[in-house]
Each structure stands twice: as C-alpha cells, then as structure tokens.
Structure 1
Amino acid sequence: MRIIVNIDVMMARRKINSTQLSEKMGITMANLSILKNNKAKAIRFSTLELLCEILDCQPGDILEYAAEDDERLK
C-alpha cells in the first residue's frame, strides 16, 4: 500500500503511549497496532477524526502518500 500511517510519529510528539491512546479512543491495543503498523486496509473517517482530536493534529499529519519506489514501503 502506498499510504503511510504516521500515528507513531504523532504519538511521540504528543508524548502519549499506545495504552493511553487506545483507552482514549476506545479501541483495543491489537486494533491500534494494526493502524500503527500500516496493516489496515481502510480507516473510517470517524476513527481518523478521533485520532486528530486526541493527537491535536490534521489528517495529513497522520496519513502520507508515498511513491512506489519509496524505501519505507519495503
């Protein structure tokens, strides 16, 4: 997939750990891990909105488009 999820970057900037974020979002650690590790095939706008609210950021801070030859995709 050519979309990179930067939740971990925003979490580090906001000094929040996975446990805290999953509790605030009301999702399991397993589901948060799927999002963080680029394993999700889709994300609901309501989930994205909640992430942005909790992490005080914009959707573009979390989601990034990468070129096909981008090393981060390997």
Structure 2
Amino acid sequence: MMAKKKIHSNQLAEAIRMKEANLPLLKNGKIKGFKLETLNTLCIALDCQPGDLLEFKSEET
C-alpha cells in the first residue's frame, strides 16, 4: 500500500506517530497486536480501508 500511495517509511512513521524502526515489524506481521487507533491512523494516512492492510491467516495446521 505504501508503494501504491508513493509514501516512504519515514513519512508514514511521522504521519502515524510511530518510530520508523517499528514499521518493519508492523509490515511483516511480527507484532502480536496493535491498537485499533493505529489501524485507523494508518488507513487515514494511506487513504485506504482496513481490508487493504490486513490479511487473515489461520493458525491451524
């Protein structure tokens, strides 16, 4: 989504008030959870819907 909107990590981090070092963790799904407020802010910054950013993966094997 960042590439689609032509926004760099440092610009997004500033827009959502997050440390740029934490963005890769968020982008790669290496976090256990996040606040809905963060999702809302991301959607506003990227002008998108939550479904554009999230993907469900079952933990069942």
TM range (shorter): 0.7 to 0.9
Higher strand proportion: 1
Give the RMSD, CA atoms, in angstroms. 1.2
**Residue 65 (1) aligns with residue 61 (2):** no
How many residue pairs get aligned? The number is 59
Question: TM-score if structure 2 supplies the norm length?
Answer: 0.87
Question: TM-score if structure 1 supplies the norm length?
Answer: 0.73
CA distance in 2, matches of 1:32, 1:11: 11
**Residue 23 (1) aligns with residue 11 (2):** no
Structure 2: where are the runs of 5+ without partners? Answer: none
Q: Percent identity?
A: 53
Higher relative contact order (CA 8 A, sep 6+): 1
